[in-house]
Amino acid sequence: MTHIIGIAGSLRRQSFNLGLLRAAEALMPPGATLDVRTLHGIPLYNADEEEEAGLPDAVTALKEAVAAADGVLLVTPEYNNGIPGVFKNAIDWLSRPATDIGRIFGNRPMAVIGASPGNFGTLLAQNDWLPVLRTLGARPWFGGRLMASRAQSLFDGEGQLTDAATRDRLGAFMAGFVGFIDEAKR
């Protein structure tokens, strides 16, 4: 069984990226699961607070879920042509303490997808994640790319993916990522 943690990088209830992640959960190939996670409850990173109180419970829970997963799917919005601050903040928390980076990220298969109302999808945000993943020692999957452009036309008012072509591309992407993870486990 291949177990993936998927993290939606937006806090909005009807986020296109949370909708994309939920659609991916429903499209997992046989023998694979996707655990949908959000960033709710993760505070802004402050080293003083970390030193005084340690890691917040929401951070510890997400961090241990990542550590137990075979792979991680980052589902990123793109804000002002880059990574959303709230999403980068969560990854910064997961990298604390620095001595734990290898356990959480070291050679862990990771993939990045995203949805955006813009014409170029999340191209720039996805590109911006690559140096972060490299720095953390993760193992990014480059076998596929999925950007859901003009997302407002792909999802209904409840955040459900309704576009059949995007659904097909997402299913193929997830099958490819699971294959990459399974190969890495051998």
pLDDT higher than 90, residue 186: no
Cα-Cα-Cα-Cα torsion 168, 174, 175, 181, nearest 10 degrees, comes to: 170
What is residue 13's predicted lDDT score, i.e. its pLDDT? 86
What is residue 72's predicted lDDT score, i.e. its pLDDT? 98
pLDDT higher than 90, residue 108: yes
Domains of the chain with CATH codes: 2-185 (3.40.50.360)
What is residue 183's predicted lDDT score, i.e. its pLDDT? 94
pLDDT higher than 90, residue 2: yes
The C-alpha atoms of residue 170 and residue 164 are separated, in whole angstroms, by 10
What is residue 144's predicted lDDT score, i.e. its pLDDT? 84
pLDDT higher than 90, residue 185: no
Tokens of 93: 């928390």
Q: What is the tens place of the pLDDT at every residue in 134-184?
A: 999 999 999 889 999 999 999 999 899 999 999 999 999 999 999 999 998
- DSSP H or E segment with residue 34: strand 32-37
What is residue 16's predicted lDDT score, i.e. its pLDDT? 97
pTM summary value: 0.97
Percentage of the residues of the chain whose pLDDT score is greater than 70: 100
The C-alpha atoms of residue 129 and residue 140 are separated, in whole angstroms, by 10
Average pLDDT of the residues of the chain? 96
Instruction: Decide: 115 and 151 in contact? Cβ < 8 Å.
Output: yes
What is residue 76's predicted lDDT score, i.e. its pLDDT? 98
